[in-house]
Amino acid sequence: MLQQARIRNSDFRSKIMSAEDAAALISDGSTIGMSGFTGSGYPKAVPLALADRIRAEHARGNPFRVKIWTGASTGPELDGALAEADGIEFRLPYNSDPVARQRINDGRMDYVDMHLSQVAPMAWQGFLGRLDTAVIEIAGITPEGDLIPSSSVGNNKTWLDIAERIILEVNDWQSPLLDGMHDIYYGTALPPNRVPIPLIRPDDRIGQPHFRVDPAKVAAVVATDAPDRNAPFSPPGATAEAIAGHILEFLTWEARRAGLPPSLLPLQSGVGNVPNAVMAGLIDTPFEQMTAFTEVIQDGMLDMIEAGTLRVASATAFSLSPEKAQYFNDNAARFRDRLILRPQEISNNPELVRRLGCIAMNCLIEADIYGNVNSTRIMGSRVQNGIGGSGDFARNGYLSIFMTPSTAKGGAISAIVPQCSHVDHIGQDVQVLVTEQGLADLRGLSPRQKAEAIVARCAHPAYRPMLEDYMARAARLSHGQYAPSLPSEALSWHQRFMETGSMMP
Amino acid sequence: MLQQARIRNSDFRSKIMSAEDAAALISDGSTIGMSGFTGSGYPKAVPLALADRIRAEHARGNPFRVKIWTGASTGPELDGALAEADGIEFRLPYNSDPVARQRINDGRMDYVDMHLSQVAPMAWQGFLGRLDTAVIEIAGITPEGDLIPSSSVGNNKTWLDIAERIILEVNDWQSPLLDGMHDIYYGTALPPNRVPIPLIRPDDRIGQPHFRVDPAKVAAVVATDAPDRNAPFSPPGATAEAIAGHILEFLTWEARRAGLPPSLLPLQSGVGNVPNAVMAGLIDTPFEQMTAFTEVIQDGMLDMIEAGTLRVASATAFSLSPEKAQYFNDNAARFRDRLILRPQEISNNPELVRRLGCIAMNCLIEADIYGNVNSTRIMGSRVQNGIGGSGDFARNGYLSIFMTPSTAKGGAISAIVPQCSHVDHIGQDVQVLVTEQGLADLRGLSPRQKAEAIVARCAHPAYRPMLEDYMARAARLSHGQYAPSLPSEALSWHQRFMETGSMMP
Ligand SMILES: CC(C)(COP(=O)(O)OP(=O)(O)OC[C@H]1O[C@@H](n2cnc3c(N)ncnc32)[C@H](O)[C@@H]1OP(=O)(O)O)[C@@H](O)C(=O)NCCC(=O)NCCS
Ligand SMILES: CC(C)(COP(=O)(O)OP(=O)(O)OC[C@H]1O[C@@H](n2cnc3c(N)ncnc32)[C@H](O)[C@@H]1OP(=O)(O)O)[C@@H](O)C(=O)NCCC(=O)NCCS
C-alpha cells in the first residue's frame, strides 16, 4: 500500500479506516475545523462521505447540520458537497464556493467573514465556541508521529491543538518534496503572554517543518489520492494588462522617488487574473531578487522564480491552476528552497506585514469617490467571498494598492460609485486605486482631492459625467463640504441596477 | 530669568528670541510640524504670533497660508488662532478645534484624517512632502543640548528629525518633574530595515528620556509660561453611568469566561466623559494592579493610580481637565513613576496593541445594524474630529468595545441607523457595542445575528420599531439575505434629519 510509505508511524497506521467510517464519528451539530486554503490542502474524502451521511439522515427525516471552520475557501468536495447536502449551518472565516455562497445569500446559512490573521487567536480566545473535530489533510506522518503539512497550512496548527478529536487525511497526490518547505511557528500565545514574532526577512524560518499532534486525539487516518482543485488559469485580457501596466509604471516611479532597493519590498498579491498579470509584468522590470510575503502562491510567482526575478515567496498556501500544480509536483525540487508555507496567523500577521513593509495589491468590487473600498458585498447585501487577508495587508503594508476593471457586467455596473454600498477598506487604507483607465495616487489627499483624482483617472468615461454631476450637486447641496455627499442619491445607482439591470439611467 | 534655569545649554540660550521674531522665520506656503496632542504640549506663543503675522499680510492683500502637521488635536492658541486668521490651507492628521472644523466643513481648508500610528512613518516615506519648520514645545534643554519633552510626545521626535528648521518653545508652566517620564524610542526605521519593537509589557522602557536634536537646525528658542488647555471635566451623567455600568459588568463576565488575570489586560480608553466614567467604575471592581496602554492619560486614570487600582499607564500625552492638570503639576512626584509618555507611533503601534492585547474602548457617532461604526463624519459629509487612534486600537486589540448614547440632539437622531452614512470601523473590528440601553456582544455573529442583537439591546426604544420595520422589509425585498439592505432607504434617516431636523418621521 502506497499510504504505508507516507504513514511511517505504526500507532497512526493502526487507525487507518475508510472515509465513511471516519465520517461516522461526526455527529449533528458538531463544530468541525477543516484544513484548506483556496483550493489547496483541504480534505477530499471525509467531507464527501459526511455529505453522503447527511443526505441519508435528511432522507430519514433527521436533522444533521454542522459548523465549519477552515483556513479560507476550500474545494467543491468540501464546501460545495456539504452545502449541496444542506449540511452547513454556520461557516467561517471565508468562502468562495458558489453553492455555499448561494445558501448564504438565500439566508439559509450563517456566515462570519473574518480577517484571516485573526481566526486562530480568536479561536483560542474561546468566544467562537468549542471545536469538536479537526479534519486535516497532510502529506505524511513521520516515524516520530509528527505530521507533514500539505499544500496549505492555514489554521491547521490551531485546529490540531484545540480540537477534541482529529481525523487525518493523508493525500498521496501531494508531492513528498513538500516536506521541509513549511515553517510552523509554535511561539504564539494569548495576551498577556504574547511576545515579538522573531521574523525580520520574508525568508526567515522561525518554526519547525512539522505539526505536533497528540496521538491520543487522533481517531482516524484516511488515505486519499486526489488533486487540489483551484480555478483554471485564463490568460489576462486587455483590461488586466492595462491595469498591470499602470501598476508597474507606478511601482517603477515610486521605487525611484522613495529610494527603494532593487528588490523593491515584499510583494503581497491577491488572487485573480489581474494580480497574475502584475506578477507576469514584473519579470520585465529592472527589479531583481524580489521577495513575496503574501497569502497564496500563484502561477505568476512560480514563473517569476523560474525567470530569476523572485528570490523567495512566503505564504500560507499554494493557489495554482491545475496545470501549474501538476508542474510544481513534477518539478518540486527546483522550487522547494524558494517557497515557505506558514500558518495564516503568521503569513498575514499585521506585525510582520508592517515590519516588512509589504506592497499590498488587492482586487475590489467597488470603490467610491472618496476612496472607500467594498471587497465583499454586491449591492451591499450579497456576499461574494469575504474580506480574507485584504484587511491584514491593506492597513499595514508600506503601500496599499487596490485594483478593478472600471465596469462590471458588460458596462451595466460602474466600479466607481458615489458611495460604496458596503465598506471593507476605509479611505485611510486605500492608497492607490487602479482601473484600466488609469491610476490615482491618493496618498496625502483630502476627500475632495481624492474624488477629483478618482473620477478623472479611474472612472469609466461612460460614467464619468454622472459622477461629475453628482459631485457638482453635492458641492452645492451637501450638509458639509469636507466630503460632500447626498444621502438621498448616494446609493441610487445600486437601486437603479437592482430595478433595471443597469446603473445607467 | 526663569527660562535660563530650563535652558541649560549656552548654544541654545544664544538663540532665545521673541515669538514674533521666531514667527517671522516662517513664510507663506510652508509646511510646519507642530507639537501638540489633545490640549497638551502644543506651542503656545509662536502660532499666535504667526496668526498675527498672517492677519497683517492678509490686510496688506498678500496671500499667507501654511500647512500644519501635528500629533493630534491641539489648543485654541494653535488651531483656533491660525484657522481664525484663515492661515491654514492644509491640516493633518487630526483636529478637534471648532473654528478649524468649521473651515474644513465649509470647504475652505483641506484636511487629511490619518491613523495616528501611521503619521510618523508616512512622513518618513516622503509622499506627504517636505517639512520646512518644526515648532515644538519642550519642558527644558539639558546641558548636553538634548530636549526634555513636554506634556505630550506625539510626532515630535519625527518633526525634529526631518524638519529643515526648528523653533523651540520652552514652557515654564510644565512641571520640571516631567523629566524622566518619557520613553523616546529611536529604533524605528523604514522597511526593509524595520525590526521588532522590543516592548512586551506596558511598563517596559525601550528608549531614552530626551529628544536628540541637531543644534545647527535650531533657529529660535522662545520662552513661554502658559498652561495646557484641555476640555473641562463635567461629571458623568446618568447616560454615561449606564454605559459604564454595562461595560464593567461585561468585563467582569469576560474576565471570568476567558480566564483573564486579575490585572485584566492593558486598557485603552478614548477621551470623553463616558470613558472617564468607565475608569471611575473600575476602581470599585475586583480588578487590581491594572495597566493602561493607551493614547492619552485622562483624569480617571490619575484617580485610579491614587486608588491603587492602576499600576502604570503608557500613553503619548496627557489629556487632563484644567483642574487635574494643575493637580498633577502640584503632585507630579507621586505620579511620575507610574506614567510613561512615548511617541505616538509607539503608543498606538498595531504590533504592540496586538501583542499586549489591549482592551480598546472608544466612542462613536453612529453604528449601523450590522455593527459598522462611523466615528468621524456627521451625516456622512461633515467631519467631527477624525479617526485618531481608534483604528489602531480597534482592529488590533484583544477586545474592541465601542460606546455611545443611543440618541443625539435630544432624541432627534438615533445613533443606531440602518446604514452608517460613513464607515470608519468595519464590522470585523467592532466586537462589542454599548449604549445606555444595553450591550451587544457581536463576536462570532453573522450580520443578521448582529442586527438582531444591536436593535434589541442597543437601540433607543423610540427608534427600535423603525429599525425592526426596516429589517423586516429588507428581509423580504433585499437583493441578498446575507446582510439584507434597502439602498433606497438605507440613508433616508439622514436625509430626513437634514430636511426636517429629526430622524423621526
Ligand atoms: C473582490 C473580488 C471578489 C474580485 O475578484 P475577481 O475574481 O477579480 O472578480 P470578478 O471580476 O470575477 O467579479 C466577481 C463577480 O462580482 C461581480 N462584480 C464585480 N464588480 C462588481 C460590482 N461593482 N458590482 C456588482 N457586481 C460586481 C462580477 O460581475 C462577478 O460576477 P459573476 O460571478 O456573476 O460573474 C476578490 O478579489 C475578493 O474576493 N477579494 C476579497 C478578498 C481578498 O482581497 N483576498 C486577497 C487578499 S490576500
Ligand atoms: C466619536 C466622538 C466624536 C464622540 O465624542 P463625544 O465628545 O463623546 O461626542 P458628543 O456626544 O459630544 O458629540 C459630538 C457632536 O456630535 C453630535 N453627534 C453625536 N452623535 C451624532 C449622530 N449620530 N449624528 C449626528 N450628530 C451626532 C453631537 O450632538 C455633538 O454635536 P455638537 O457639537 O453640535 O453638540 C469622539 O469620540 C471622536 O472624535 N472619536 C474619534 C477618535 C477616537 O476615537 N479617538 C480615541 C482613540 S485613541
The model's pLDDT over B323-356, given as tens digits with 9 standing for 90+, comes to 999 999 999 999 999 999 999 999 999 999 999 9
Among A384, A420, A504, name the best residue to mutate to test ligand 1's pocket (greatest count of ligand atoms within 8 A of Cβ).
Answer: A384
**What pLDDT sits at residue A2?**
52
- Residue of the CA atom closest to atom 17 of ligand 1: A408
Measured distance CA(A133)–CA(A150) in Å, rounded: 19
Q: Is the CB of A394 under 6 A from ligand 1?
A: no
Neighboring chain A residues of B419 at a CB cutoff of 8 Å: 380
Say yes or no for a CB contact (<8 Å) between A110 and B195: no
From chain A, the residues in CB contact with B265 under 8 A are: 191-192
| Cα B364 to ligand 2 centre (Å) | 6
pLDDT recorded at residue B461: 98
Residues of A in contact with B448 (CB under 8 A): 107, 110
Interface size A-B, in CB pairs within 8 Å, comes to 249
Q: Is B366 on the interface with A (CB under 8 A)?
A: no
- Which residue type is seen at B259? G
Q: Which of B407, B460, B451, B400 is nearest to B250 (CA)?
A: B400
| Burial track B349-358 (b if 16+ CB lie within 10 A, e otherwise) | bbbbbbbbbb
Q: Omega before B121 cis (within 30°)?
A: no
Question: Is the pLDDT at A205 greater than 80, yes or no?
Answer: yes
Contacts of B470 in chain A (CB under 8 A): none
pLDDT at position A273 is 81
Q: Which residue(s) pair with A165 in the sheet?
A: A133
The percentage of chain A sitting over the pLDDT mark of 70, rounded to a whole number, equals 99
Predicted pLDDT of residue B22: 98
Residue B295 is a catalytic residue:
yes
Residue A206: C-alpha distances to residues A230, A371, A491, B96 (Å): 29, 37, 48, 44
pLDDT at A292 over 60: yes
Tell me which amino acid residue B366 is.
E
Buried b (16+ CB within 10 A) or exposed e, B401-422: bbbbbbbbeeeebbbbbbbbbb
Residues of A in contact with B203 (CB under 8 A): none
- The whole-number pLDDT of residue B4 equals 75
- CA separation for the pair A476, B261 (Å, rounded): 55
Flag whether residue A448 sits within 8 Å of chain B, measured between CB atoms.
Answer: yes
* pLDDT tens digit sequence for A26-73: 999 999 999 999 999 999 999 999 999 999 999 999 999 999 999 999
Q: In chain B, which residue's Cα lies nearest the Cα of A448?
A: B110
B296 CA closest ligand 2 atom index: 48
pLDDT at B3: 60
- Our CA-based measurement puts residue A81 at a distance from the nearest CA of chain B, in whole angstroms, of 20
The pLDDT score that the predictor gives to residue A3 is 59
Pairwise CA distance, residues B154 & A426, whole Å = 23
Mutate to test the pocket of ligand 2, among B363, B364, B406 (most ligand atoms within 8 A of CB): B363
Q: Of B292, B283, B270, which is closest to residue B352 (Cα–Cα)?
A: B292
In this prediction the ipTM stands at 0.98
From chain B, the residues in CB contact with A107 under 8 A are: 448, 475, 481-482, 484
| Distance (Å) from the alpha carbon of B445 to chain A's nearest alpha carbon | 6
Most B-contacting residue of A91, A94, A385, A426 (CB-CB within 10 A), to test interface:
A426
How far is Cα of residue A498 from the mean position of the Cα atoms in its chain? 28
Helix or strand (DSSP H, E) at A139:
strand A133-141
Asked if B194 lies within 8 A of A356 by C-beta distance, the reply is yes
Residue found under cell 450590522: B370
Confidence of residue B231 (pLDDT cuts 50, 70, 90): confident
Query: Chain A contact for B5, CB < 8 A?
Result: no
Q: Which of B89, B169, B295, B345 is catalytic?
A: B295
Distance of CA B68 to the CA centre of its chain: 17
Contact with chain A for residue B206, Cβ under 8 A? no
**Best substitution site from B378, B384, B436, B491 to test ligand 2's pocket, by max atoms within 8 Å of Cβ?**
B384
CA–CA distances in Å: residue A135 to residues A17, A138, A163, B481: 14, 10, 9, 30
Closest ligand relative to B424 C-alpha? 2
Tell me the three cell numbers of residue B111.
484636511
Evaluate if residue B497 carries a pLDDT over 60. yes
Distance A89 CA to ligand 1 centre (A): 24
Ligand nearest to the CA of B276: 2
Q: How large is the average pLDDT for residues B168-190?
A: 97
Q: How many CB atoms lie within 10 A of CB A154?
A: 36
Three cell numbers, residue A90: 454556520
Q: What angle do CA A271, A275, A278 make, to 5 degrees?
A: 155
Cα–Cα distance measured from residue A50 to residue A21, given in angstroms and rounded to the nearest whole number:
10
CA distance B489 to chain A (A): 8
How far away is chain B from the Cα of A144, in angstroms, using its nearest Cα?
Answer: 33
Q: How far apart are the C-alpha atoms of A486 and A467, rounded to whole Å? A: 12
Residue B187: count other Cβ atoms within 10 Å of its Cβ. Answer: 12
Grid coordinates standing for B467? 429599525
Mean pLDDT of A296-317: 96
**Over 80: is that where the pLDDT of A465 sits?**
yes
Extract the annotated binding site of A. 270-274, 365, 385, 389, 409
Per-residue pLDDT at B182 exceeds 60: yes
Candidates B101, B446, B477, partner chain A, best to mutate (most A CBs within 10 A):
B446
Q: Which of A261-275, A478-492, B263-277 has the highest mean pLDDT?
A: A478-492
Query: How many CB atoms lie under 10 A from the CB of residue B347?
Result: 28
**For residue A272, what pLDDT is reported?**
79
Do the Cβ atoms of B97 and B74 come closer than 8 Å? Answer: yes
B-chain residue closest to A188, CA distance: B355
Mark yes or no for CB contact A396/B350 under 8 Å.
Answer: yes
Is the pLDDT at A245 greater than 90? The verdict is yes
Which residue owns the Cα nearest ligand 1 atom 22?
Answer: A365
Angle in degrees, CA A387, B367, B250, rounded to 5: 90
Looking at the CA of residue A273, tell me the nearest atom of ligand 1: 8
- A430: chain B residues, CB-CB within 8 Å: none
Please state whether the peptide bond connecting residue B192 to the residue before it is cis, i.e. omega within 30 degrees of 0.
Answer: yes
The C-alpha atoms of residue B184 and residue B181 are separated, in whole angstroms, by 10
pLDDT at B2: 52
- Which residue among A261, A382, A387 places its CB closest to the CB of B480? A382
Across the interface, do B483 and A104 touch by the CB < 8 Å criterion? no
The CA distance from B365 to B423, in Å, is 10
Contact B234 CB / ligand 2 (< 6 Å):
no
Contact A364 CB / ligand 1 (< 6 Å): yes
Which is catalytic among the residues A77, A89, A137, A295?
A: A295
- Residue B170 clears pLDDT 90, i.e. is over it: yes
Q: Which of residues 272-331 of B touch A (CB under 8 A)?
A: none
Q: CB–CB of B113 and A428 under 8 A?
A: yes
Q: For B75, left (φ over 0), alpha (ψ -120 to 50), or beta?
A: beta
Tell whether ligand 2 has an atom less than 6 A from the beta carbon of residue B378.
yes
Q: Which of residues 406-425 of A touch B (CB under 8 A)?
A: 419, 421-424
Contact B314, B203 (CB under 8 A): yes
Of B125, B190, B444, the CB nearest to A127: B444
